[in-house]
Structure 1
Amino acid sequence: MAALSMTGAASAGCYNCYAPPPCQTCYQQQYVAPQYRTVDETVMVSPGATVAHRTPAQYRTVMVPQTVMVAPPGVQYERIPPQYATRQRVEMVSPGYSYYAPVQMGCASCGY
């Protein structure tokens, strides 16, 4: 019985396809490619930092035997902000898949 349905499908011009018995409809496997998209994302290139700049004390000689402090030592802090950049990455939106679709057959014996 299976040989008859395959023979019938083959004689109806259906090659390289699958015809499940007892149906004479021919199905071919169709492929749908995976779908991708490009996404922009912000990434940190360099983290922020705080840098301490130390200033030494300032001294002056006011008289020959005496030196006095004019300004005390100090610290100034400089904040360096983080640096960011935009990069692109590709992500899959839907994976590829396959399915069976009926094939329109040209059949001389049945008139289609």
Structure 2
Amino acid sequence: MRHRFWSALAALAISPFLVSSVSAGGRTLSCYEQATVPPVYRTVQERVLVQPASSYVVQQPAVYSYQTRRVQVQPERVSYRRSPAVYQTRYRKVQVQPASIGWEYRMIKGRNILCKVQHPAVYRTVGQQVLVQPASRVAVRQPAVYSHVKEKVLVQPATRQVVKRPAVYRTVSRKVLVQPARTVWQPVRVRGCRY
């Protein structure tokens, strides 16, 4: 190939002389003409970035629940009250005057006669208050008071998660120039020329 290239250059250099020789009736040794060699391409596969890698944040709110709880509103209390003494009236017969024998005058059939008389005992009913139960201090217990309330309870705390998206690629085909177009001198086979 290199030999032909230099031969073509030599032909260009001596072409004026050849023309003059031909026109002068000289003998032609070899002939060349210009030719265009088209460019050479090659198809290559390339990985092209369609979408770059990215990330986004997913937030989950906290989850709550309601529970019923028994709470003490008022604690147990102990108070004291005074119980007065209890009395009862009891009755009994009391001898006021014992039985006796005495002398007294009595009118009998118009006559005033001294008589021996027996007098029975004299009794009287009297009431007396008797202590049945003495005064005391009584403890009064008041039970605790409870109520039910609703409470907001955390079941799951809020979360924050970073989600990554990988880059997206696509394979594309394109032509790559391997050798550009060029002009060369190549030998010509015509009558009167040889190479």
1:57 corresponds in structure 2 to 62
Of the three residues 167, 174, 187, the one matched with 1:82 is 167
- Provide closer, same or farther for how the CA distance between residues 8 and 32 of structure 1 changes in structure 2, counting only shifts above 3 A: farther
Distance, in Å, in 2 between the alignment partners of 1:54 and 1:101 is 75
Structure ranking higher on relative contact order (CA contacts 8 Å, 6+ apart) = 2
Structure 1 stretches lacking a partner, 5+ long: 13-22
2:20 corresponds in structure 1 to 4
2:85 corresponds in structure 1 to none
Distance, in Å, in 2 between the alignment partners of 1:78 and 1:42 is 25
Distance, in Å, in 2 between the alignment partners of 1:98 and 1:70 is 82
CA contact (8 A) 1:8 1:24 kept: no
2:38 corresponds in structure 1 to 33
Distance, in Å, in 2 between the alignment partners of 1:97 and 1:6 is 29
Runs (4+) of structure 1 moved beyond 6 Å? none
Shift of 1:81: 1.1
Higher strand share: 2
- Provide closer, same or farther for how the CA distance between residues 77 and 105 of structure 1 changes in structure 2, counting only shifts above 3 A: same
Distance, in Å, in 2 between the alignment partners of 1:29 and 1:66 is 98
1:86-105 superposed matches below 5 A:
86-105=171-190
- Provide closer, same or farther for how the CA distance between residues 101 and 8 of structure 1 changes in structure 2, counting only shifts above 3 A: farther
Question: For the pair shown, which has the larger CA radius of gyration, 1 or 2?
Answer: 2
- Provide closer, same or farther for how the CA distance between residues 8 and 38 of structure 1 changes in structure 2, counting only shifts above 3 A: farther
- Provide closer, same or farther for how the CA distance between residues 103 and 62 of structure 1 changes in structure 2, counting only shifts above 3 A: same
Shift of 1:106: 1.7
Task: Give the paired residue count.
Answer: 97
Distance, in Å, in 1 between the alignment partners of 2:24 and 2:162 is 88
Distance, in Å, in 2 between the alignment partners of 1:24 and 1:5 is 11
Structure 2 stretches lacking a partner, 5+ long: 1-15, 69-148
CA contact (8 A) 1:46 1:82 kept: yes
SS at match of 1:5: helix
Q: What is the TM-score normalised by the length of structure 2?
A: 0.43
CA deviations on 1:3-32 (whole Å, 9 max, x unpaired) are: 6325268x98xxxxxxxxxx7532211221
Q: CA RMSD in A?
A: 2.8
Shift of 1:91: 1.2
Distance, in Å, in 2 between the alignment partners of 1:8 and 1:104 is 22
